[in-house]
Amino acid sequence: MGMSDRDPLIFAYYVTGHGFGHATRVVEVVRHLIVAGHEVHVVTGAPDFVFTSEIQSPNLHIRKDVLDCGAVQADALTVDRLASLQKYSETAVVRRPYILAAEVQWLHSIKADLVVSDVVPVACRAAADAGIHSVCVTNFSWDFIYAEYVMAAGNHHRSIVWQIAEDYSHCEFLLRLPGYCPMPAFRDVIDVPLVVRRLHKSRSEVRKELGIGEDVKLVIFNFGGQPAGWILKQEWLPVGWLCLVCGASDKQELPSNFIRLPKDAYTPDLMAASDCMLGKIGYGTVSEALAYKLPFVFVRRDYFNEEPFLRNMLEYYQGGVEMIRRDLLTGHWTPYLERALTLSPCYDEAINGGEVVARILQDTAAGKSHASDRLSGARRLRDAIVLGYQLQRAPGRDLSIPDWYTRAENELGLRPASPSAEMNGNDSLSELCVENFEILHGEVHGLSDTVAFLNTLSGLDHGTDSGKSTEKRRERNAASALFNWKEEIYVSRAPGRLDVMGGIADYSGSLVLQMPIREACHVAVQRNHPSKHKLWKHAQARQQAKGEGPLPVLQIVSFGSELSNRAPTFDMDLADLMDGEQPMSYEKAREYFAQDPSQKWAAYVAGTILVLMTELEIHFTDRLDISPRKLALLCQKVENHIVGAPCGVMDQMTSACGEANKLLAMVCQPAEVKELVTIPTHIRFWGLDSGIRHSVGGTDYGSVRIGTFMGRKIIKSEAAALLTRSLPGPNAPQGYMNHDEYEEHGIELVKAEASLDYLCNLSPHRYEAVYAKKIPESILGESFLNKYANHNDTVTVIDPNRKYAVKAPAKHPIYEKFRVEAFKALLTAAATDEQLSALGELMYQCHYSYNDCGLGSDGTDRLVKLVQEMQHCRSSHSDGSSLYGAKITGGGSGGSVCVIGKNCIRSNEEILEIQQRYYAATGHLPFIFEGSSPGAGKFGYLKLRRRQSSDTKLDL
């Protein structure tokens, strides 16, 4: 029985208020439903012509309304995360009771048989309230997109994501389109083909109407109707090319080789008539580019997590070329357009998704069940929905993963084995080898991850493995073009660190205890004369345009870039770091690197060059000899002043100065290494990754730091006032002193507190006795500035309109320093269960103090609770528990927890059990950090020379 054989049904189809892409794919589904004789009511904010140009039928009813807002875009490539959350709250949260009541009444009034949503959350709940089934059709959901925004904008918005996920959970199932993101809120999933609009005219017909010959190269410029303010120049196109511009305003002046398209132009026909497309990635552009085999030159859009999944599919089918945003805006288009013409897009999958979706919707509305046992189950996973991008990309979420979806192992939670696991029982250090390189200086220190990196490096000039993911192939191709294999290459290694105790108290001057971990970052660097640079094509084109001959260029490739949706490559002319004869200011550098969020990561690397020039007046003509401590302080300047992350220095100090199997004990005033504390042999530390991303550049970390410095300013002000009352007035006899005040406080002590440099120098008992009652729980930024002028922190800025917690952030470092000192002293105590219990208790206290500051997270709290349950459950057994404590680490608001326990087999078994329990509860399998390795200072550097092909491999 065909679709048209059914009795007429009534569909209510809700379209999200985000972009045309959703409306255009809805059109194709609705067209098939109406052809089948059904009635469709579309609720949308899109212009009528999007629907009426394709469908002329009395069975199509368009109701103008916007019940969600999607993502608020500052321009075609920039999403405003905070504004998106605020607008969604105004659109769908504040009005929610009214919306639900109105939609239930409306659905009853039209006698809807089925509600379809793409992908408006509240529509699913309204359908449930009206007693009507609902189905979602999409490749992403708003809980997934907004979860990332919540992490950046603050956890006070997380209720928005919870509500969205709850709404989606009311629908019967999800019809999932190719290019899909993880969508754990849905109970059941059915995969369908691409939904794309059909072609009306042939390539030759379109070109004839436009007056463009078949031999003219044509690019369609498609940025979702938002490029109105961009200035386009004639010389940006290769000679003889023409460009069709979508969405240009009537007032925008265009050069003669750019053709303005009408607002209601039918894009699929124009795409099929073009030779390539230049635009941003969205479902509409990607699906139609794939369907009509059109090469797509794309520019990354920041803060929209749908993009990497669509991009991966596009590139898997050989249809995409990435353009750097800087080159888009400055007109360096030619190398990208020419590259696009060499592509052969090869998408041969079905593109009849509109028909397939319409048939399933019709069957569902008529009462047929489409429940999918294969994919049903734990899709409403609260942590997975709420707590960030990486947590949602978890192993086991999908039983069948298409090739285009397969990414770097880390991205799906399938992390590579730890370096120690790379050696099986038959391996030994003597068997580790580096192929094709002669090591002229340094040693690998028996580190198998270093050997693996060197072997990866040596393989870069041997082509790529076709079995690798698209992103990895791109990284390898870009990296292989970097090096001159006849010249020397330098390699260094810096480990990550596990924050055992101290954490955010570092910027308040606390003692901290940090352990360098086994996992590390490797960097390979080569310096070449500009005449010998092997430049990427767009960099070559840029230099040729300047007409000044070879210029010094910095080119960087970042492996694993896809893990955080960032561009894998970065390049710049080194002259861009100069402002006349002097290095540019840090402020200008921060603005320079922030221009393109997908390449902002490069500030961590390129920023080191500027800091070295600025701080040490280095021009890179001589060998650098920098002590590990100085190296760490310089790296902190990069993070603070160029990246814009208001971090302390303990990360850099541990990575640079740490030693394997030792805790770096450092007083952060600003960075004095006290000693390297050997970890007792009966004690062991682990790190467990919650899967929730945290960032020291995030809102919560920064606001807590501001609150801490506010607290210090208030304490200093109170101490100064106390000092004034304790000293003689102008009319007092010489030598006068208020004896009671002196006895209670001590003039010298109060003087020290009035000039307090580091909050951690205030003891807990002085804080409680004198100042605790003076510090407010919170304060509005404007009120603080009016009373105290500033908070004297050079790396954060107070927002006058924001309320900051003060009491908890100020109290934390004062008590944390005491806890860290007690922890350090206990490490040398007798090896007893009491010792371990006391150490664990200090870690628990630290963890809950983080929570009081607002830096906790559901994932880290869950891990700490699992450790506590394991500890207390096993304590009644004869052999007792082997785990004794845990705490959140580093900047908080996600990240990892540190666990302390006995160094024994049973403790490792308990850690593995906690890992599995967390996985069962959240769908994320925590990575376990264990083991240690030397810091960058101990490792030094390797100087390598490429061996000739006739040489044999070097055994180490």
Are residues 361 and 345 both part of a single domain? no
80 is catalytic: no
Overall average pLDDT of the 676-681 stretch? 93
Strands 114-118 vs 582-583: parallel, antiparallel or unpaired: unpaired
**In angstroms, rounded to a whole number, what is the distance separating the alpha carbons of residues 492 and 497?**
16
DSSP, residue by residue, 123-192: HHHHHHHHT--EEEEES--HHHHHHHHHHHH-GGGHHHHHHHHHHHTTSSEEEEPSSPPP-TT-S-EEE-
**In angstroms, rounded to a whole number, what is the distance separating the alpha carbons of residues 178 and 167?**
23
DSSP, residue by residue, 246-261: SS--TT----TTEEEP
On whether residue 674 sits in a domain, the answer given is: no
**In angstroms, rounded to a whole number, what is the distance separating the alpha carbons of residues 470 and 142?**
26
Overall average pLDDT of the 148-169 stretch? 77
Are residues 136 and 19 both part of a single domain? yes
Q: Is the pLDDT of residue 349 over 70?
A: yes
Q: Is the pLDDT of residue 765 over 90?
A: yes
On whether residue 426 sits in a domain, the answer given is: no
651, 689, 793, 858: which is the annotated catalytic residue?
651
Cis peptide before 670 (omega within 30 of 0): yes
Are residues 36 and 161 both part of a single domain? yes
Q: What's the pLDDT score for residue 393?
A: 35
- Could you give the strand order of the β-sheet that contains 883-888, starting from the edge strand earlier in sequence? 883-888, 895-902, 683-692, 928-930
Say which residues have a Cβ less than 8 Å from residue 220's Cβ, sequence separation at least 6. Answer: 243, 244, 246, 267, 270, 271, 274, 276, 277, 278, 279
pLDDT band at 257 (very low <50, low <70, confident <90, very high): very high
Q: What angle do CA 769, 771, 776 make, to 5 degrees?
A: 135
Summarize pLDDT for 836-886 with one digit per residue, the tens. Answer: 999 999 999 999 999 999 999 888 999 999 999 999 886 666 567 799 999
Q: What's the pLDDT score for residue 238?
A: 95
Overall average pLDDT of the 2-31 stretch? 86
Q: What's the pLDDT score for residue 731?
A: 54
DSSP, residue by residue, 449-503: HHHHHHHHHHTGGG---TTS-HHHHHHHHHHHTT--TTS-EEEEEEEEEEEEE-G
Q: What's the pLDDT score for residue 598?
A: 78
Q: What's the pLDDT score for residue 194?
A: 97
Cis peptide before 116 (omega within 30 of 0): no
**Three-class DSSP category at 931:** coil
Are residues 379 and 337 both part of a single domain? no
Q: Is the pLDDT of residue 402 over 60?
A: no
pLDDT band at 416 (very low <50, low <70, confident <90, very high): very low
Strands 553-557 vs 569-573: parallel, antiparallel or unpaired: antiparallel
- Quick one: tokens of 102? 């109105």
On whether residue 799 sits in a domain, the answer given is: yes
Q: Is the pLDDT of residue 373 over 50?
A: no
* Nearest CA-CA partner of 386 in 692, 180, 89, 121: 692
Are residues 237 and 304 both part of a single domain? yes
Are residues 48 and 24 both part of a single domain? yes
Give CA separation, 517 vs 564, 656, 934, in Å.
Answer: 22, 12, 8
**In angstroms, rounded to a whole number, what is the distance separating the alpha carbons of residues 800 and 798?**
6
* Nearest CA-CA partner of 421 in 904, 930, 828, 956: 930
Backbone angles phi and psi of 124, in degrees to 5: -70, -40
* Nearest CA-CA partner of 494 in 948, 127, 940: 940
Assign residue 500 a region: left if phi > 0, alpha if psi is -120 to 50, beta otherwise? Answer: alpha
- Quick one: tokens of 736? 């006068």
* Nearest CA-CA partner of 631 in 605, 608, 606: 608
Are residues 171 and 302 both part of a single domain? no
Summarize pLDDT for 49-60 with one digit per residue, the tens. Answer: 899 989 999 999
The alpha carbon of residue 110 and the mean position of all alpha carbons in its chain are separated, in whole angstroms, by: 44
* Nearest CA-CA partner of 175 in 198, 147, 194, 196: 194
**Number of residues assigned to the chain:** 956
On whether residue 861 sits in a domain, the answer given is: yes
Q: What's the pLDDT score for residue 470?
A: 56
On whether residue 667 sits in a domain, the answer given is: no
Are residues 111 and 228 both part of a single domain? no
Partners of 572 in beta bridges: 554
Summarize pLDDT for 641-665 with one digit per residue, the tens. Answer: 999 988 778 889 999 999 999 999 9
Backbone angles phi and psi of 556, in degrees to 5: -130, 140
Are residues 219 and 330 both part of a single domain? yes
Convert 74-127 into a string of H (helix), E (strand) and C (coil): EECCEECHHHHHHHHHHHHHCCHHHHHHHHHHHHHHHCCCEEEEECCHHHHHHH
CATH code for position 183: 3.40.50.2000
**In angstroms, rounded to a whole number, what is the distance separating the alpha carbons of residues 704 and 373?**
46
Domain count, the chain: 4
Residue with tokens 């102008």: 730
| Residue 41: domain span | 10-192+356-407
Neighbours of 288 (CB within 10 A): 25
pLDDT band at 226 (very low <50, low <70, confident <90, very high): low
On whether residue 468 sits in a domain, the answer given is: no
Q: What percent of the chain clears pLDDT 90, i.e. is strictly above it? A: 59
Q: What's the pLDDT score for residue 500?
A: 96
CATH code for position 835: 3.30.70.890
Overall average pLDDT of the 87-94 stretch? 91
Specify whether the CB–CB gap between 539 and 553 falls below 8 A.
Answer: yes
Q: For the ranges 69-78, 362-371, 559-568, which has the lowest average pLDDT?
A: 559-568
Summarize pLDDT for 284-329 with one digit per residue, the tens. Answer: 999 999 999 999 999 988 777 788 889 889 988 999 999 988 889 8
Summarize pLDDT for 704-747 with one digit per residue, the tens. Answer: 999 999 999 999 999 999 988 876 665 544 444 455 555 556 88
**In angstroms, rounded to a whole number, what is the distance separating the alpha carbons of residues 741 and 728?**
12
Are residues 155 and 35 both part of a single domain? yes
- Quick one: tokens of 86? 């605020």
Q: What's the pLDDT score for residue 390?
A: 35
- Identify the DSSP state of 575: G
**In angstroms, rounded to a whole number, what is the distance separating the alpha carbons of residues 692 and 861?**
11
On whether residue 681 sits in a domain, the answer given is: no
Are residues 487 and 608 both part of a single domain? yes
- Quick one: tokens of 590? 């921060």
On whether residue 704 sits in a domain, the answer given is: yes
Q: Is the pLDDT of residue 388 over 50?
A: no
Average pLDDT over the chain, rounded to whole? 85
Overall average pLDDT of the 807-830 stretch? 96
Q: Is the pLDDT of residue 667 over 90?
A: yes
Q: Is the pLDDT of residue 19 over 90?
A: no
Say which residues have a Cβ less than 8 Å from residue 131's Cβ, sequence separation at least 6. Answer: none
**In angstroms, rounded to a whole number, what is the distance separating the alpha carbons of residues 637 and 646?**
10
pLDDT band at 412 (very low <50, low <70, confident <90, very high): very low
Summarize pLDDT for 426-444 with one digit per residue, the tens. Answer: 333 333 456 688 999 999 9
* Nearest CA-CA partner of 420 in 929, 940, 937, 954: 929
Q: What's the pLDDT score for residue 729?
A: 60
Are residues 491 and 637 both part of a single domain? yes
Say which residues have a Cβ less than 8 Å from residue 331's Cβ, sequence separation at least 6. Answer: 233, 235, 236
Compute the 3-state secondary structure of the chain and give helix, strand, coil in percent, each to the nearest 5. Answer: 45, 20, 40
Q: Which residue did the predictor score with more confidence, 412 or 111?
A: 111
- Quick one: tokens of 795? 């790396």
> Burial, 462: exposed, middle or buried (Cβ in 10 Å; 0-12, 13-18, 19+)?
exposed
